[in-house]
Structure 1
Amino acid sequence: MIITAIKIICIILAIILIVLVILQQGKGSDLGSAFGGGSSNSMFGAVGPSNFLGKLTAFIAFLFLVLNLAQAVLLKNANTETLFTEEEIQEATNVVEIPIE
């Protein structure tokens, strides 16, 4: 149940991360300037969107990585099972000596 929730959150964070990277202002003409990223100072303040979007992108990336690591640990613990019982291991390790003629 929790693994499914983490998977859904990771997918949403990945989509948000892609959008944030695309919207960031680059050196040339990019998609961020098409949405007003180059001249819009009212939403992000006087500094512009690069500082705010950079910090937000780093935070979302951090959350994405932490959730993926947690998901890996949870999946490892959920899929760990004993393949052999102790008795089967004892039987397999008993070596039968065959006399050489």
Structure 2
Amino acid sequence: MYTLLLVVNIAVALVMVVVILLQQGRGAEMGSSFGGGARGSLVGISGSTNLLSRTTSVLAVVFFATALALGVVSPTPEGGGTLDELLAEEELRPPTEEPAAAEETEETPAAPAESEVPAPPDAAGEQ
């Protein structure tokens, strides 16, 4: 169920992006409004909605519905519970042994590695 809702949500989002990009902006007809026969007004009421805007509205409703459904049926982490409960459990856990192992490696000096870069010539030999 979760996978199906996720696929539908992503598909609706992609289609909605395409439909929104196909629409003209409100200022697209501004040039024709000064030249004479304007079909709609930039500031006033712009007549009836067209098919693309209705489709956008329907897709938006479907997108929000699937997003809410995904939130309801989403799998919970293994421990379950809220984020506050999970954080409280983390604070109550004893520290692991890993930091102590890291401190031991810092105390012991590492042997210097052999360098592949040749040593510079003596300064006394060059002028």
Q: Which TM-score applies when normalising by structure 2?
A: 0.43
Q: Shift in Å at residue 28 of structure 1?
A: 2.4
**Residue type of the alignment partner of 1:79:** T
1:79 is paired with a residue whose SS is coil
Q: Shift in Å at residue 70 of structure 1?
A: 0.5
Aligned pairs for 1:16-35 (under 5 A) are 16-26=15-25, 27-28=27-28
Structure 1 segments of 4+ aligned residues over 2 angstroms from their partners: 80-83
Aligned pairs for 1:11-90 (under 5 A) are 11-26=10-25, 27-28=27-28, 51-75=50-74, 78-79=75-76
List gaps (5 residues or longer) in structure 2: 30-46, 81-127
Higher helix share goes to which structure?
1
Q: Shift in Å at residue 79 of structure 1?
A: 1.3
Partner of 2:40: none
2:20, 2:28 → 1: CA distance?
Answer: 15
Q: Deviation per CA, 1:1-37: give whole Å up to 9, x if none.
A: x1011111111101100001000121228xxxxxxxx
Larger Rg: 2
Partner of 1:40: none
Q: Shift in Å at residue 81 of structure 1?
A: 6.2
2:50 is paired with a residue whose SS is helix
Q: How many residues align?
A: 62
Q: Shift in Å at residue 51 of structure 1?
A: 1.3
2:2, 2:14 → 1: CA distance?
Answer: 19
List gaps (5 residues or longer) in structure 1: 30-46, 84-101
- Please give the root-mean-square deviation of Cα atoms over the aligned residues, in Å: 2.4
Q: Which TM-score applies when normalising by structure 1?
A: 0.53
Identity across the alignment (%) = 27
